[in-house]
Amino acid sequence: MNILITGGAGFIGSHLAEYLLHQGHRVFIIDNLSTGSFENILHLKNHERFQYTIDSIMNVPLTAELVDRCDLVFHLAAAVGVKLIVESPVYTIETNVKGTEIVLDLANKKKKTVVVASTSEVYGKANKIPFSEDDDLVLGPTHKGRWSYACSKAVDEFLAFAYQREKRLPVIIVRLFNTVGPRQTGQYGMVLPTFVKQALQNCPITVYGDGSQSRCFTHVNDVVDALYKLALKKEAIGQVFNIGSDEEVTIRNLAERVRAIACSNSPIQFVPYEEAYEEGFEDMRRRIPDIRKIQQLIGYRPTQNLEQIIESVVHFCRNCTAPGQELSYLGSEDLRSATG
């Protein structure tokens, strides 16, 4: 197939591009590098089945041309990261809602299948654990910018389902839970790479709040494998799926485990939310997915536990000077194509 990835130079997008090339597909990406990085795709740029475009999906004629050339679209382009969301709520809303509307409208002209990446943030302040796809969404007040991301991604989901029901556009929604791994940066508040870099430098590991909030971390390799398998399932059309792990860890314990695996002497420093973000910032106390639905459809199960995930990120940060040096999927034949 010819496959388009919006946001393809991002952390997840670049891993997905690698995976799809390994599967034998021709891959097109578009990314404006606002949160992605050209270094993420540097090792792919000369691959005979890879084409990159550095531009925004808001460039409608260009995006239309790319959508027309492809059989399947993975829509990953979005404003992401808590820090960015708090500091730039207008950009967050416009990028997520307008960008998704453009992609869906263009895909609808020739009924191209679209896999829309959403987020666990849409569950908001819901306290029913684990989060399942049919649960109610409980968002915070509109005057708190922290919830603009969750709301914008919920609107993306509503819009995608509207296109599916009214216009019969094949869409699949995925809610991603704390995807981590090599090439992820801590630039916009991503916790694991931030902790690892602090630990390797023997700097204080900064835990926001009291560290009792908990998360479940999933390796990017498991996520891109699930994305691809869902895209091939006709039964997934018109459905929403959680993709994540159900191995829960508090952020304080995560910091302790990173410190131990990195053999670091870093102290753990607790930083109040209002100092890290803004006055009145609200965090989700627990974020645990119910993954039974995706298990039943594609046999999904995370293959790496938290210790293995931390080890892979520590190894990457210690040994790789450029993100493209660590390849997850490309074998020797693909590498020869990728490097010329």
Active site (annotated) includes residue 188: no
| β-pair partners for 124 | 138
Rounded to whole angstroms, the Cα distance separating 148 from 125 reads 13
Angle 196-241-169 (CA atoms, 0-180°, nearest 5)?
A: 125
Rounded to whole angstroms, the Cα distance separating 144 from 140 reads 7
The token duo for 8 is: 């393809």
Rounded to whole angstroms, the Cα distance separating 183 from 172 reads 26
| Residue 116 host element (H or E) | strand 113-119
Q: Which of 6, 56, 51 is nearest to 26 (CA)?
A: 51
The length of the chain in residues reads 340
The catalytically annotated residue of 19, 52, 123, 149 is 149
Task: Return the amino acid letter for 199.
Answer: A
Please identify every residue annotated as catalytic.
149
